[in-house]
Structure 1
Amino acid sequence: MSKDQVRKLSWKEIFKLSKTSLMEFFNADNFMHGAALAYYAIFALVPIVYLAITIFGSVVGEEVILEIIQDVLQQNIGITDVSGIMAFVAELNISQGNIILKVVGIVVLLFSSTALLNALKNSINNFFGITPKKNKNFVLETLISRAISIGILSLFGVCLIVTYFTQTIIFSLTDQFIASGSGVRSTFYLIVEHGSLIAVNVILFAFIFKYLHDGTVKWKLAWGGSLFTSILLYLGHLLIKFYLVNYFFAANVGFAGTLMVILTWMFYSSQIIFLGAKFTAVYAKMVGRPIVAK
């Protein structure tokens, strides 16, 4: 077997991999890391939304970006009433193109996204079992870390926009060939919608497991961990969304309730992401390619 190859696991090894991943995950400080990530996500929310509309909106139109944001909040997170948060976004006076606000927004975004993704990076290091080596060139390391953070956020935004337009094109073509009201059309719509969501997550987590930590991971291991995490996250989000929509106590308490929903959604989602990170680390050990610090 060559250096870059990763051997396949038997069914017995896959069972052992799943069992070991769960045991090591529950022995880690997963709740503490999840709380930190949810906390930073709230502070990163406004600047990320603002700059997403400002930057991507100038390319594809503000209305498109607002529609994507609303769809993510309703369909993915499970916020039933998005009027409060959308009204808050509208109050940012995005269309006026305030240069000072844009500059401040960029600075805040750099800080917030770095804080958010730095928290995620530290958590992944923990679940990968990595102790970062001390780097003498702190400034360069910080700049690289910020560049990776902005790159991953940009990748996520681009993936959402590409998915939006791809779905629009596919649905338009489908309308021409499949009769209206057909069960086939509805089924096809669901497959495309949910399949594209998993595909976006697979791409995003592959880059996170490859770059957003202080270790060295083979691409095949990153893709394997990403696929596992994305499928698990998709199934988990169905349950989380059902709980938030039907049973969460603060679901219908205006803007404050929306923030509580986002906090809760982020906390539970982070647990699945951390389990995926632990799965990737255990997987790497089992195939003889353990994740080591750079």
Structure 2
Amino acid sequence: MKMSQWLDVCKKTVNAWSDDFAPSMGAAISYYTMFSLAPLLVLVIAIAGFAFGAEAVRGQISSQLSTLMGPDTAQAIEGMIESASLSDNGWWASALSVVVLLVGATSVFAELQSALDRIWHVPESQKPSGVWGILRARLFSMGLILGLAFLLMVSLAVSAGLAAFGSYLGGLLPGQEAVLQILNTVVSLAVMTLLFAMIFKLMPTAKVAWRDVWVGAVVTAALFEAGKFGIGMYLGKSGLSESFAGAGALVILLAWVYYAAQIFLLGAEFTKVYAQSHGSAQSKRAAQPAEIPTKSTVGTDQSSGQTPTASTLLQPSDLRQRLVAASAEALPRLVLLGAITLLRVMADTKVKEEEKLLRAARRRAG
């Protein structure tokens, strides 16, 4: 591709990012991530811990988080991980904790899939719905968690190998620190590229060709690696943590998650624009109009100078169909959430009763 073509793709990417309400979608992803981060890390640590040990994996994650967000935020995340860890209060509480962990860890992936479907303008009729659709999406999210744990293990193995290589070289190679830093950056880029490639290929309902996925994944990984220094400098010099006192660590974490979500959405938009302009989807880009409203479809009508009303945006039959589909999708989630909440309350009650009996037995023994 020529430079002018790349610039055209970048311009269309930014326009599509704005047209698809990416800032609002990023806020939704950040909200789900805040509640899914702790259970997700617990599962990743548990899976990767089989190969390297839970303490080594947790130390590596803590080190990376401390480098990216600062020691206070890393410590806050460690506290979240401790609180979300599996309970040792009997098999009933442990089993319930596993269920809560799985549901919590996969919630953010469901929101990512929804965002990708919106970016690719997937029709409502093609989106998974019903109980089976939700269960299938959750199982698929578990597969992505396994893939994330595998990439973490690869990163740990390569980091250990680079450390051993640096120790072996000792003072033999001038500037070895710079060489090792470059190698670490290359490894980080490769791991992030694989992660984004898995998400861009496997998560959306739309079929995306691998050749389009790899281009988008490389660009997204490069944006993330380049941008993390910028957001780090901003957070370090803005005094954001001091402005919110005790909640500073949480605010920094939220800012980081929101930034990462915007990079992810921008990379997804780039992948779509590239696929439609120069990739495998050139012949399909105008096949069907988007069912999901964008800024260009809900804004002021330039030809008439009037703001369209709801009746001009949606026909009654379309509105009823969307309401029925939304209700059918929301009902199983509400039932599942209610059941989990009820089970959690029952488990907490049982644990409190056991603790009360244990304290009474200790008093009698004393």
- Partner residue of 1:151? 143
* Separation in structure 2 between the aligned mates of residue 184 and residue 94 of structure 1, nearest angstrom: 45
* Separation in structure 1 between the aligned mates of residue 56 and residue 268 of structure 2, nearest angstrom: 33
Q: CA deviation at 1:94?
A: 5.9
Alignment of 1:54-133 (within 5 A): 54-76=46-68, 78-81=69-72, 82-90=74-82, 99-133=91-125
* 2:24 pairs with 1:32: yes
Q: CA deviation at 1:223?
A: 0.7
State how many pairs are aligned.
283
1:251/1:160 CA distance change after superposition, 3 Å: farther
Contact 1:37 1:119 in 2 (8 A): yes
Contact 1:206 1:222 in 2 (8 A): yes
Alignment of 1:114-193 (within 5 A): 114-134=106-126, 138-179=130-171, 184-193=175-184
Q: CA deviation at 1:109?
A: 2.7
* Separation in structure 2 between the aligned mates of residue 272 and residue 129 of structure 1, nearest angstrom: 19
- Partner residue of 2:357? none
Supply the AA of the counterpart residue of 2:241. Answer: A
Supply the AA of the counterpart residue of 2:133. Answer: E
Contact 2:87 2:97 in 1 (8 A): no
1:251/1:189 CA distance change after superposition, 3 Å: farther
* 2:234 pairs with 1:243: yes
Unaligned runs of 5+ in 2: 289-366
Q: CA deviation at 1:269?
A: 1.2
- Partner residue of 2:185? 194
Contact 2:23 2:262 in 1 (8 A): yes
* Separation in structure 1 between the aligned mates of residue 92 and residue 246 of structure 2, nearest angstrom: 26
* Separation in structure 2 between the aligned mates of residue 166 and residue 97 of structure 1, nearest angstrom: 37
* Separation in structure 2 between the aligned mates of residue 116 and residue 26 of structure 1, nearest angstrom: 22
- Partner residue of 2:204? 213
1:61/1:94 CA distance change after superposition, 3 Å: farther
Contact 1:201 1:230 in 2 (8 A): yes
Match of residue 255, structure 2, among 248, 260, 264: 264
Q: Rg larger in 1 or in 2?
A: 2
**What do you get for the CA RMSD once the two structures are aligned?**
2.7
- Partner residue of 1:283? 274
Q: CA deviation at 1:285?
A: 0.8
**1:235-262 CA distances to partner (integer Å, 9 max, x unpaired)?**
1111112222332422697873322222
* Separation in structure 2 between the aligned mates of residue 255 and residue 152 of structure 1, nearest angstrom: 34
Q: CA deviation at 1:101?
A: 4.7
* Separation in structure 2 between the aligned mates of residue 244 and residue 213 of structure 1, nearest angstrom: 32
Q: TM-score under structure 2 normalisation?
A: 0.69
1:23/1:200 CA distance change after superposition, 3 Å: same
Calculate percent identity across the aligned residue pairs.
Answer: 24
Unaligned runs of 5+ in 1: 1-8
Supply the AA of the counterpart residue of 2:183. Answer: V
Supply the AA of the counterpart residue of 1:233. Answer: F
* Separation in structure 2 between the aligned mates of residue 136 and residue 274 of structure 1, nearest angstrom: 21
